[in-house]
Amino acid sequence: MNLPNILSLFRILLAPVFLYLFLSDSNVLNASAFFIYTIAAFTDWYDGWYARKYGFKTRWGQFIDPLADKILTSAAFIGFYLLKQKDTFFFGKTEPIPFIFLVAVIIARDIILTAARSIQELRGKDFKTSMISKTKTFIQMTFVFVVIACFSAAAVFSGTGFSMSLIKYLHSDFNYYILLFITLLTAASGIAYIFESGGEKIKNS
């Protein structure tokens, strides 16, 4: 097993560690959650760079790398949901669409389509990522980092005005509506993939 694949497996192992730290009642462990998540995200960039530079592109790597990314991201969204169960003000009080539904749509779409993509690549088929999917991934990852960073920083500076301002953002309806927008974008990218796949099958039949 080469280094990029080892890093992908390491990223999967870090997901439950991050979740434990994020949901802890300790400010120190909460602050550590961002550190762990950042390390995991860095391994994603590094194993991709390393594989391209040294030619370590394997079918197993094409399967495990994107799956590890989605497991890590899913761990973050699960953490958001579980934290909201402890703190009902987290992500605001306004829920036109139940919070759990938003999280479920994001996780289900990402895991299912990533698994489908990985299986196709294991079979030697090319998988082209659409622009809407790339946009979704960028916005989603940025949002996750911002939320985790704010939460961890609020724990580090607990009791200060800066901490209170970060908590105010995390408790805002605005934060919820960003998640709602990401959910709609995620659903749209999933629908786009279904139509594109259907078009390809008709074209190749």
Q: Structural domain tally of the chain?
A: 1
Predicted pLDDT at 201: 46
Residue showing tokens 């990401």: 182
Q: Is the pLDDT of residue 17 over 80?
A: yes
CATH number of the domain at 49, please: 1.20.120.1760
Confidence of residue 28 (pLDDT cuts 50, 70, 90): very high
Residue 136, domain extent? 3-204
Predicted pLDDT at 114: 77
The 10s digit of each residue's pLDDT in 102-136 is 999 999 988 888 777 767 766 666 666 667 777 88
Confidence of residue 203 (pLDDT cuts 50, 70, 90): very low
The 10s digit of each residue's pLDDT in 38-70 is 999 888 887 777 777 776 676 666 677 878 888
Q: What is the pTM of this model?
A: 0.87
